[in-house]
Amino acid sequence: MTTAQEVVLGDDTNKVSASLPLTRRLRPLLGMTVVAAVALAWGMGGGADRYEIFIAIHFLSFVTAAAGLNILYGYSGLVSLGHGAFFAIGAYGMGWGLLNTGLSFPVLLVSVLLAAVAIALVLVLPTLRVSGHFLAMVTVAYASVVHVILINWDSVTGGPLGLSISPRRLETWVPAEEVLFGFAVVVAAAALLFMGVVRTSSIGRAWRSIRQSEVSAACLAVPVRRYRVLAFSVSAVLATLGGVIYGLNVGFLTPSEYDVMLSINLLIAVIVGGSGRFLGPVFGSLIVVVGPEVFRFLGDHRELMLGLVLIAVLSFRRGGIAGLLETAVRPVTSRLGARSKPGVSVAEKGDVA
């Protein structure tokens, strides 16, 4: 069978994962729950100052958006350089709604997400016939159009002067800073868990088959058009959620923050972190968001240092940081797995005692 056939029909990896004990299959969920609980205790228990919480929320917004782009690029192989547009839709949509409507926060959030899905469908339908570099160029055009709209639609976006969400309105509609951090933690964890669960599902296998070969997937009766629309819509929703979190965090929105470079940074986070991998968006967001803060002591040279880090990661490991860590821990996990099998010793596996 070809690679695409193995992915669609269920490769050996999926068969092994399906036969694993329930406790092992729940490890990602348990691990994510522990990490989220620790993060909530740190951010909401008074263990961090306001600046650290601000950076943490910024990081979590990027994790959420990068998880969506990881589904689009890492799973289905569709390159998008326009997801910064949905990031902007989330930020500006929530900001405008807080200032001009009487809707409650949950209703307004659902309305913004539904609007993002509608816009995603309008944008993706004309691009279904293109892929690869052509798709990337089309999505760049989308991001540029949204950026121009943000600059010129003064009555809604505030134009070049930006849109200010006053602290009084934030206190009225949006939870306090610590609660916003908790909301960001829950959303980012849910996005990562969804990304991990869907990978081994039939939808995830269909996406991966499309990435391997659209022709082979179509020959195996995979509705390529439908799954491409689904991948784009899901990734748009997560990018919009990330934008909502970011907009509520900064409280002041300017078009200069939502140009094409934002989309490029999101794609960099996915590729450097490890496209198609569970923790790829986390490691990539650490490099893109937290990295500049770590190298702040270098002044104007911190961008150069970040560039060297990106070059080093991509040169030595195409699988990104997550792939590098997987390679490093695989001998340890395989040895532990061999020792845990009843009736099979390490010597029988051919290892030196």
pLDDT tens series, the chain, 353 aa? 455 555 554 544 444 344 445 455 556 666 666 666 676 666 666 666 788 888 888 999 999 999 999 999 888 888 888 888 999 999 999 888 888 887 888 888 999 999 999 988 888 877 777 777 778 888 888 888 888 999 988 888 888 888 887 655 555 666 667 778 888 888 998 998 888 888 888 888 888 888 887 778 878 788 888 888 898 999 999 999 999 999 888 888 888 888 888 888 898 888 888 888 888 889 888 888 888 887 777 777 777 777 787 787 777 666 778 777 777 776 766 666 555 555 544 444 444 33
CA distance 240 to 57: 15
Q: Which of 295, 315, 311, 314 is nearest to 303 (CA)?
A: 295
Cα angle 53, 247, 185; round to 5 = 45
Cβ count near 287 (within 10 Å):
21
The runs of H, that is alpha helices, within 220-301 are 224-250, 260-273, 280-285, 291-294
Strand partners, 252: 164
CA 113 to chain centre: 16
pTM reported for the whole predicted model = 0.82
Backbone φ/ψ region at 275: left (φ over 0), alpha (ψ -120 to 50), beta: beta
Q: What are the C-alpha distances in Å from 220 to residues 3, 7, 214, 270?
A: 12, 11, 10, 29
The DSSP secondary-structure symbol of 274 reads -
Q: Which of 279, 335, 249 is nearest to 55 (CA)?
A: 249
Q: Which of 65, 63, 44 is nearest to 53 (CA)?
A: 44
